[in-house]
Amino acid sequence: MDTQKNRILIAELFGTCVLMLGGPGTAILAADAVGILGVALGFGFTLAVLAYVIGPISGCHVNPAVTLGLYMAKKIDKAHATAAVIGQIIGGILGGGILAIVLASAGTFSDRGGFASNGYQKDQGWMGLGAAAIIEIVLTALLIIVVLATTTKKFAPGFGGLVAGLTLAIIHFISIPVDNTSVNPARSLGAAIFADGSSDALVQLWAFIVFPLVGGALGAIIHKVLHGDDA
């Protein structure tokens, strides 16, 4: 892999790790103090900051569904997409691991519960597989449409990171009560690996890989329809 692809991989690894700390980290360590509003803003603010820090290097996807959407829209090539996804997977796991170490050092790792993982089972407080499928596909498509809109010629320069961050916060406002919000397979993986086994997070993980990727593909298609030649 050449130097540029290495930089993309490292940037996406770093960015996804930081997203885990800013998003699930807020949910795990501070949800009692900040509530859904604070958790949603934790995700949104973190993405907005990262967009300006690593955006010039890798595009700041920090999400395999975003990478898929950009690849389908022909904004990036296969090598870029591959390096980004590898970095995102490693970064998601690393971020989850850092949070697990924090809890272990505080002596509370045994009480970690769901570890901010995603779920759909109604007996665990979520809204069911059907609701999760709809919300993940629709909201991931929305995220991709917004991200791709920031790449068009008519979009105001310099505002892409802010708009993407606000969109991610809005997505969390809507869907935290449904399934704890994924729209990002790397984020879901990084949390599920360290969740308490009683939460069935790993058993349900497939849904938060499949549905966001479907939404990513759908978002790329809708973007093309909306923007036509400008896309």
Give the start-to-end residue ranges of the domains of the chain.
3-109+117-230
- Label residue 111 by pLDDT band (50, 70, 90): confident
Cβ atoms of 126 and 119 within 8 Å: the answer is yes
Superfamily of domain 3-109+117-230 in the CATH hierarchy: Glycerol uptake facilitator protein. (1.20.1080.10)
Instruction: Check residue 10 and give left, alpha or beta (phi > 0: left; psi -120 to 50: alpha).
Output: alpha
53-108 residue pLDDT tens: 999 999 999 999 999 999 999 999 999 999 999 999 999 999 999 999 999 999 99
pLDDT at 180 over 90: yes
Query: How many angstroms separate the CA atoms of 28 and 220, rounded?
Result: 32
14-33 residue pLDDT tens: 999 999 999 999 999 999 99
DSSP per residue over 54-122, as a string? THHHH----SHHHHHHHHHTTSS-HHHHHHHHHHHHHHHHHHHHHHHHHHHHTT-GGG-TTTT-----G
* pTM value > 0.85: yes
